[in-house]
Amino acid sequence: MTDNCPNCPQQHVEPVAAVERRDQVSHLYRCPACGVTWSTNRDLRAYGEAA
């Protein structure tokens, strides 16, 4: 799953790390354009990906 940078116009940034726990996934991102880092926490059920 990609994300858009919250600091610059860069789109489709690939995660540099991911951790799945039950119905949740956490991704860590680093923008290749500006270098900002951020993380997301998503409920996989909302994306139809829960096991």
Domain positions in the chain: 1-51
Q: What span, in angstroms and rounded, lies between the C-alpha atoms of 24 and 43? A: 5
Contact (Cβ atoms closer than 8 angstroms) between residue 13 and residue 41: no
10-37 confidence digits (pLDDT tens)? 999 999 999 999 899 999 999 999 999 9
Give SS3 for 35.
coil
pLDDT for 18: 95
11: its two tokens = 């789109």
Give SS3 for 46.
helix
pTM for the model: 0.82
DSSP structure string for 16-33? EEEEEETTEEEEEEE-TT
